[in-house]
Structure 1
Amino acid sequence: MNKAVFLDRDGVLNKELGDYVCTLADFQVLEHNYEPLKQLHDAGYLLIVVTNQGGLAKGWYTEATLQSMHTELRRQFAMHGVEFAEIYYCNHHPEYTGNCFCRKPGSLLLEKAIARFNIDKNKACFIGDRERDVEAGEKAGIKGILIDSDQPLSEVLHLVPGFSV
């Protein structure tokens, strides 16, 4: 079985703007998280992004724009030796598309990844900057770690199950 760290996107991997990141120009990767994620990657943790992207349902940006942001995210982290096993996103918004199970605090995307990548729930966690991230992790049976938006992940590495700094 594999160990994994699930990561929210906005406010964890890229700068939190307070609302949706709608353009590639506004997408700013948090460079202070290159090293801590490299440490996790080098220690054998799968890094999996799970993000709500309700702006798609609202029509505020397109799938193509979202993919360009994710391509840039992968590119910048790869230059520092970090690879994301997968990026999952929910493209729904309750006011536009109704309720779904994949939008956090729903746990469907985490459960899919846990099954797909054969993840040991005791060696996994979800790091996010909103209570809904922690709640989604706990619903999926993994530890939730709440951080402040844009907080360096180096400050919470000691909380990752099975990881020693």
Structure 2
Amino acid sequence: MANPQSKQSERKCAVRLAKATDIPQVIAIDTENTGLSKAEYWEDLFERYNNRSTDMDDDTQPKSVKRYRFFLVACDGDTVLGFIIGEVRAWEFGSPPCGWIFAVGVRNNIRQGGVGHVLLDALNDRFRKAGVNKVRTMLARDDTLIMSFFRSQGMMAGPFIQFEKDL
């Protein structure tokens, strides 16, 4: 069932590349969602993904590696409502170039109001501009909230199996 405050997020929000001034709000959203504060992690991601001289919001084709990486935020004025991060990866384990989503978060009090959908659509548009036609992600089996979100957006299990080993 939708959060009683979710109607707030049905208002229009603007999606754009994250700015350095957005990172404290991104950290707060992630801390609220996960219970862990990872400020250094988010600051590093911002530097790797958005520290570039050109903007992917224009209509040019991406040319450099950094232009295949996207750290986007959905905003209402100066308030960050949510974020999504992804990149184009190519030829890992024989897979042709595809978009990979590896982080998404929305303020808890406005979940189920469409912000995540708007963010995913904006990221998918950038992936299409980069020339890919498939998007993937990986998540924990027991993360039913994010699994439900991705399924509601038309995503389903893919052809790969993840393996791991304790070191």
- For the criterion TM > 0.5, the same-fold answer is no
Normalised by the length of structure 1, the TM-score is: 0.34
Return the index of the structure with the highest Cα Rg. 2
Normalised by the length of structure 2, the TM-score is: 0.34
The structure, 1 or 2, with the larger RCO (C-alpha pairs under 8 Å, 6+ apart) is 1
